[in-house]
Structure 1
Amino acid sequence: MQRSTYKTGGTVQTTGAVVMKNVLKKHLLLMLGLVNRLSSTKASTHILIFHDIPPIQINRLEKLIRHLNDRYDIIDPVTFTQQFQNKCFSKKKSLLFSFDDGFYSNYIVAKEILFPLGIRSIFFIPTGFIDCSNREDEINYINNNIYEEESKPDLEIDDMKPMRWEHLSELLDMGNIIGAHTINHTQLSSIKTNSLMIDEITSSGDRIEYMLGSRVDHFAFPFGDINSINANALRIASKRYSYVYSGIRGPNMLDTNNFTIRREPVNVSDDLRYNSLVASGGLSSYYWRDRIRLDEMIRQ
């Protein structure tokens, strides 16, 4: 059988070579991350980001959550915001869970895994996804809005669907927090019209407040990387919300600005040891330049 190949950087690599390269890369990151983790003793909170959880990965996620719950102080969103308000972070490292994009699978995880463990989280919702009126609109939203072309998952689209407003209301009743994530999951840095920028950022929070009757103080910008945000978007978000979250890795400490909150993306398909490293902040040091750039934006 012929081996699969693809082009990268002007050369052709076999699938086997790519797999080996990724394995070696992860082992290197594990070793370097362990050094970073052992050298960091400051009180901090690392926020993990989860997205859609396919049914085939639910058990894998539960194993990860139970593993982290046994080893870390997992705090709720209210405790996290009180740390900012009181300028007093826990003396030991803590974790907070967050879920982006409003997938129904997040509701299942919260209800069947997190709630029985006493874990409360933040759910960042793109309201246009929740308001889709039919299955065709949902599929188009997923394909055209949530996933960038180069990172679309090889998943069964039938397993991916949005929560409904009643699910979000139930999440609130369980003690979770609902945050805004724009209307259309738009990359804010690509918006040229200021009025459209304001609408995407502020109207999503207004819509959630109207539908759920609960104040929305938390906002996460879509995609989360440094190239998906700019100073203008951050300025608009900071006027509407009390807390703005990125997807840039790093610890949240006493000197962290509440409009440049860091988070750690987690891929549930990665192995337990690697995701434990992610949760500990073992990869955070590689993103120090992005954190500096983000902090500079809020000062502009």
Structure 2
Amino acid sequence: MRSFIRNVYITLAGTISKPSNEVHLINGHYVTKHVVDKSLHKAIYEEFILYLLSIGDIIPISDALDKINKKHTKNSKPYFVLTYDDGFEECFDIMGPILDKHNIKAAFFINANYIESNQDYQNNFNKRIRIETKRPMSWEQITYLHSKGHTIGSHTLDHHNLNKLSLEDIELQIKKNKEILVSKLNYNCDHFAWPYGRISDFSEEALEITSKYHKYIYSGTNYKFYHSFNNRVYNRRHLEADWKKSYIKYFLSAKKAL
């Protein structure tokens, strides 16, 4: 009943809401969680992109961080940043061509052990994140996205909850994942988003370890504030491309504090 009431409220409130004229760091994972053919995936994703472009601009993550760091977050229109966790294949074959078509740069956060893994590993990974219908990108596909100017960030080796690991294992998950990404792509991996994204999934100790390897660190929550952990973490708003327009408008209408 509580879920039903919440859905009704958000749907109704969303019909009269509009995204605030601020910088919005959007955190997604896929086009849709459901199994549909690729032509429908493309239609869903392009509709989402065209909607955002009809009300604002989609900018690279570097431009967004510059605005946030300079406190230039109040604008004449909304600015959106697209970030995607986990590295599903549709990031390449569905999102990639549409992003290129509209000259949009996104950020993709990768779990290196998931890429080109065997079926048993993929099954366990997908079970952990409760999405059973997805497959990972290949290194060739990630390299291509990187060559097109998209940001490739780190998301740990295996997508474990860092608050359930020892400090030694946290360091391994973060350090090794960066080493693999740097080796595969020949670049400096500055960006990191922790798995599951909640503040409760990331400790001060994990932050200290992560800060040794990455300049920019992202949550997936606390979106009414640009920062968490005393301005050391950038907060993103979870939002998927197939959500109802009323939901999108409602969640992006929230005013944010620096």
- Name the structure 2 match of 1:260: 233
1:247 shift after superposition = 0.5
Candidates 3, 19, 26, aligned match of 1:48: 26
1:276 shift after superposition = 2.7
1:190 aligns with 2:175: no
Give, in whole Å, the separation in 2 of the partners of 1:84 and 1:267. Answer: 23
User: 3-state SS of the aligned residue for 1:198?
Assistant: helix
Alignment of 1:152-171 (within 5 A): 152-153=130-131, 157=133, 160-171=134-145
User: 3-state SS of the aligned residue for 1:244?
Assistant: strand
Give, in whole Å, the separation in 1 of the partners of 2:111 and 2:96. Answer: 20
Indicate how the Cα distance of structure 1 residues 60 and 183 shifts in structure 2: closer, same or farther if over 3 A, else same: same
1:267 shift after superposition = 3.4
- Name the structure 1 match of 2:97: 112
Candidates 113, 134, 140, aligned match of 2:124: 140
Give, in whole Å, the separation in 2 of the partners of 1:72 and 1:226. Answer: 29
Indicate how the Cα distance of structure 1 residues 249 and 64 shifts in structure 2: closer, same or farther if over 3 A, else same: farther
Indicate how the Cα distance of structure 1 residues 184 and 281 shifts in structure 2: closer, same or farther if over 3 A, else same: farther
Give, in whole Å, the separation in 1 of the partners of 2:176 and 2:136. Answer: 19
Q: Deviations over 1:1-50 (max 9, x none)?
A: xxxxxxxxxxxxxxxxx5xx645422323555689x67x96x63111111
1:81 aligns with 2:65: yes
- Name the structure 2 match of 1:14: none
The question of whether the paired residues in 2 share the 8 Å contact of 1:197 and 1:233 is answered with: yes
The question of whether the paired residues in 1 share the 8 Å contact of 2:27 and 2:85 is answered with: yes
Amino acid in the other structure paired with 1:220: A
The question of whether the paired residues in 1 share the 8 Å contact of 2:111 and 2:177 is answered with: yes
1:127 shift after superposition = 0.8
The question of whether the paired residues in 1 share the 8 Å contact of 2:14 and 2:248 is answered with: no
The question of whether the paired residues in 2 share the 8 Å contact of 1:247 and 1:264 is answered with: yes
Give, in whole Å, the separation in 2 of the partners of 1:255 and 1:236. Answer: 16
Higher helix share: 1
Give, in whole Å, the separation in 2 of the partners of 1:233 and 1:169. Answer: 28
The question of whether the paired residues in 2 share the 8 Å contact of 1:128 and 1:184 is answered with: yes
* Unaligned 5+ runs, structure 2: none
- Name the structure 1 match of 2:108: 123
Query: TM-score, normalized by length of structure 2?
Result: 0.84
Indicate how the Cα distance of structure 1 residues 200 and 31 shifts in structure 2: closer, same or farther if over 3 A, else same: same
Give, in whole Å, the separation in 2 of the partners of 1:120 and 1:257. Answer: 28
- Name the structure 1 match of 2:196: 223
Give, in whole Å, the separation in 2 of the partners of 1:104 and 1:95. Answer: 23
- Number of equivalenced pairs: 251
- Name the structure 2 match of 1:64: 48
Query: TM-score, normalized by length of structure 1?
Result: 0.73
Give, in whole Å, the separation in 2 of the partners of 1:255 and 1:137. Answer: 33
- Name the structure 2 match of 1:26: 7
Give, in whole Å, the separation in 1 of the partners of 2:47 and 2:82. Answer: 15
User: 3-state SS of the aligned residue for 1:219?
Assistant: strand
* Unaligned 5+ runs, structure 1: 1-17, 292-300
Indicate how the Cα distance of structure 1 residues 118 and 34 shifts in structure 2: closer, same or farther if over 3 A, else same: same
Give, in whole Å, the separation in 2 of the partners of 1:182 and 1:252. Answer: 24
Give, in whole Å, the separation in 2 of the partners of 1:256 and 1:227. Answer: 12
Q: Which has the higher contact order (CA 8 A, sep 6+)?
A: 2
Give, in whole Å, the separation in 2 of the partners of 1:180 and 1:213. Answer: 14
Give, in whole Å, the separation in 2 of the partners of 1:223 and 1:277. Answer: 22
Indicate how the Cα distance of structure 1 residues 166 and 258 shifts in structure 2: closer, same or farther if over 3 A, else same: farther
Sequence identity (%): 23
The question of whether the paired residues in 2 share the 8 Å contact of 1:244 and 1:258 is answered with: no
The question of whether the paired residues in 1 share the 8 Å contact of 2:228 and 2:235 is answered with: no
